[in-house]
């Protein structure tokens, strides 16, 4: 399940930051927005599990969860009595009285009462203690603060004159205030993550932590204690060996460096460009980069030096080395495995092992590959295809005939379809026979049989008969016949044309056939491109889509004869 997978992912991140990056427990807790006691508990469970770091490659999330969280054998904990928080508040006002002391006194009278961490949490929730402003001191190479500026920059389309507003991304290093800025068209995931990648390359390394605001492209569910990160943003952080620590909601002091950095960029860069007209995004970014160099070389007013000088002395030596490969932006999808052991991702069908029929899997898409995971374990990998509604099938995913024969077979599909009429069964079998693998036609057959719930078995059988007569081998072709009511009309015979006289000025049918093919080929590329791309070539399209046999389809729709 998704929540379990995300939980296991967070546990793995705790182990990575603690065991691989060498961060202390409290630093790990802050970077992942969880309590230090939770980090301690995860590490304790790791030690008692008998595992070693790095984790075995064949250990999936389900097995890891069983090792970390075995089924409970003890009865559920009983409700514990809470102290009188008013009395606790009064006692705290006395000199040298601490929560630790009050908790110990409370435990003497209530041995089965709250533990110390829970005691403190409930008290602070009750007291609503006022935050005290604290000046933050950032270590070199520790944090990068990121945010979008509130103001945008106009970019004019030179051909239409349309003005489009570009967003300004800002990143600031904590110790030196070394600043990066660029313009993007939007604040969506691709632009947000891509701007991070370019910022890290500008700085020449990655920081231990990245401090963003709770932008939807980075944080899908804001939470003070355990925010949910957008999967692509999370994977980007893992790629560069850093941790994401989102600022608390409505707590601007958590990202004060970003707030000041945005203000500086707006005053010294965007304001300086207010009277210029830009006609493309690269032109705007070139102007921003030139002013950015001047900003980082500008001397501070209250201290000696510049942003670049502090960067070279403090941040740059402490930054982590960037990985040899640049992070490739990913897209995550969830899909259910259909009875033909394929999933639909971005309008294409990819195979998975047939044993997972009915399961829900995750697909990780890049520009070149599609990786399919089940419970955090990779089960298939395909080269990404841009063909719409086509199949990519690996032979090893196909079931052996003697195993698959007891579940879904072409004969069983045809027999089931035959309950609605012999022509329904005939068309279902024709659809499956027209595919490279009969299983690839199961979806279209299932859709075909569901039409009887809307139009009835009699009309469906008549529509399938008309489709068979005219060579239509698709679900959508039958649906069109039913929608237009053509199943109730008699199929008129096509009267053969009179023979063409033999004359030197008469070109004959062959000539016009070649001309028609030439024109249709040209039209397909210019005007019917989306339709051809959507349905695909051949007598029937994938997933029951109509094919390119235009004369047969027109005949089935009553346009011939």
Task: Quick: pLDDT tens for 359-388.
Answer: 999 988 876 788 999 988 899 999 888 788
How many Cβ atoms from other residues are within 10 Å of residue 264's Cβ? 18
- The whole model's pTM is what? 0.43
Rg (CA), the chain: 33
CATH superfamily, region 143-318: Ribonuclease H-like superfamily/Ribonuclease H (3.30.420.10)
b/e per residue 38-70 (b: at least 16 CB within 10 A): bbeebbeebeeeebeeeeeeeebbeebbeebee
**The residue count for the chain:** 561
CB contact set of 241 (below 8 Å; sequence gap of 6+): 21, 206, 320, 323
Cα–chain center distance at 407:
33
Which residues make Cβ contacts (< 8 Å) with residue 24, sequence separation at least 6? none
- For residue 501, with 0-12 CB atoms within 10 Å meaning exposed, 13-18 middle and 19 or more buried, which class applies? exposed
| Model pLDDT, residue 293 | 93
pLDDT at 142: 85
Residue whose token pair is 């939770």: 38
Pairing of strands 143-148, 209-211: parallel
Cβ-contact 188, 182 below 8 angstroms: no
Query: Which residue pairs, CB below 8 angstroms and at least 24 apart, start in 185-192?
Result: 185/281, 187/148, 187/215, 187/217, 188/217, 189/217, 189/230, 189/232, 189/233, 189/329, 190/329, 191/167, 191/217, 192/217, 192/218, 192/233
CB atoms within 10 A of CB 390: 17
Quote the pLDDT of residue 408: 61
CA–CA gap between residue 369 and residue 330 (Å, rounded): 10
Return the structure tokens found at 61: 């999330």
**CA distance linking residue 24 with residue 28, whole number of Å:** 6
The Cα–Cα gap between 251 and 269 comes to 26
Instruction: Give, in order, the Cα–Cα distances in Å from 235 to each of 193, 227, 229, 330.
Output: 10, 15, 10, 8
Structure tokens at 12: 């793995």
Residue ranges for the chain with pLDDT beneath 70 = 1-6, 72-80, 89-96, 128-138, 214-228, 248-256, 258, 302-304, 367, 400-409, 436-440, 490-561
The pLDDT value given to residue 206:
92
Q: How does pLDDT run across 17-45, given as a tens digit for each residue?
A: 888 888 888 888 888 888 989 889 888 88
């Amino acid at each position: 399940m998704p929540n379990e997978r995300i939980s296991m992912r967070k546990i793995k991140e705790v182990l990575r930051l603690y065991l691989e990056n060498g961060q202390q427990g409290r630093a790990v807790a802050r970077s992942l927005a969880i309590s230090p006691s939770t980090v301690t508990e995860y590490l304790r469970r790791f030690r008692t599990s008998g595992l070693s770091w790095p984790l075995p490659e064949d250990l999936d999330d389900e097995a890891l969860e069983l090792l970390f969280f075995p089924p409970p054998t003890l009865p559920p904990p009983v409700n514990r009595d809470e102290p009188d928080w008013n009395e606790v508040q009064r006692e705290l006002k006395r000199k040298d009285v601490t929560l630790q002391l009050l908790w110990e006194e409370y435990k003497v009278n209530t041995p089965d009462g709250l533990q110390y961490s829970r005691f403190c949490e409930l008290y602070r929730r009750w007291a609503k203690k006022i935050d005290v402003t604290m000046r933050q001191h950032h270590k070199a190479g520790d944090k990068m603060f990121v945010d979008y500026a509130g103001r945008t920059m106009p970019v004019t389309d030179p051909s239409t004159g349309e003005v489009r507003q570009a967003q300004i991304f800002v990143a600031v290093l904590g110790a030196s205030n070394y600043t990066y800025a660029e313009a993007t068209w939007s604040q969506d995931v691709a632009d947000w993550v891509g701007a991070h990648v370019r910022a890290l390359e500008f700085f020449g390394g990655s920081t231990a932590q990245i401090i963003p605001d709770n932008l939807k492209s980075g944080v899908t569910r804001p939470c003070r204690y355990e925010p949910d990160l957008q999967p692509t943003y999370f994977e980007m952080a893992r790629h560069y060996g850093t941790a994401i620590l989102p600022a608390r909601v409505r707590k601007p002091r958590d990202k004060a460096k970003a707030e000041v950095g945005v203000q500086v960029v707006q005053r010294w860069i965007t304001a300086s460009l207010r009277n210029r007209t830009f006609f493309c995004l690269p032109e705007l970014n070139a102007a921003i980069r030139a002013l950015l160099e001047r900003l980082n070389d500008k001397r501070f007013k209250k201290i000696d030096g510049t942003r670049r000088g502090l960067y070279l002395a403090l941040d740059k030596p402490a930054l982590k080395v960037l990985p040899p490969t640049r992070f490739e932006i990913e897209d995550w999808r969830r899909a259910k495995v259909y009875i033909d052991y394929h999933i639909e991702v971005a309008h294409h069908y990819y195979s998975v092992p047939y044993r997972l029929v009915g399961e829900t899997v995750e697909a990780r898409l890049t520009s070149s590959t599609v990786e399919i995971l089940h419970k955090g374990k990779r089960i298939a990998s395909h080269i990404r295809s841009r063909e719409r509604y086509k199949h990519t099938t690996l032979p090893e995913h196909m079931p052996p005939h003697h195993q698959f024969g007891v579940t879904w077979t072409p004969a069983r599909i045809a027999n089931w379809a035959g309950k609605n009429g012999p022509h329904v069964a005939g068309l279902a079998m024709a659809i499956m026979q027209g595919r490279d693998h009969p299983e690839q036609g199961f979806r279209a057959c299932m859709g075909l049989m569901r039409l009887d719930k809307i139009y009835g078995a009699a009309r469906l059988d008549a529509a399938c008969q008309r489709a068979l007569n005219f060579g239509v081998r698709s679900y959508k072709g039958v649906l069109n016949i039913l929608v237009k009511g053509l199943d109730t009309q008699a199929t008129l015979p096509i009267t053969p044309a009179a023979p063409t006289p033999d004359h030197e000025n008469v070109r004959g049918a062959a000539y016009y056939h070649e001309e028609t093919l030439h024109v249709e080929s040209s039209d397909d590329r210019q005007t019917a491109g989306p339709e051809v791309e959507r349905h695909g070539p051949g007598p029937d399209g994938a997933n029951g889509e109509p094919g390119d046999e235009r004369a047969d389809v027109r005949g089935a729709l009553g346009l011939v004869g």
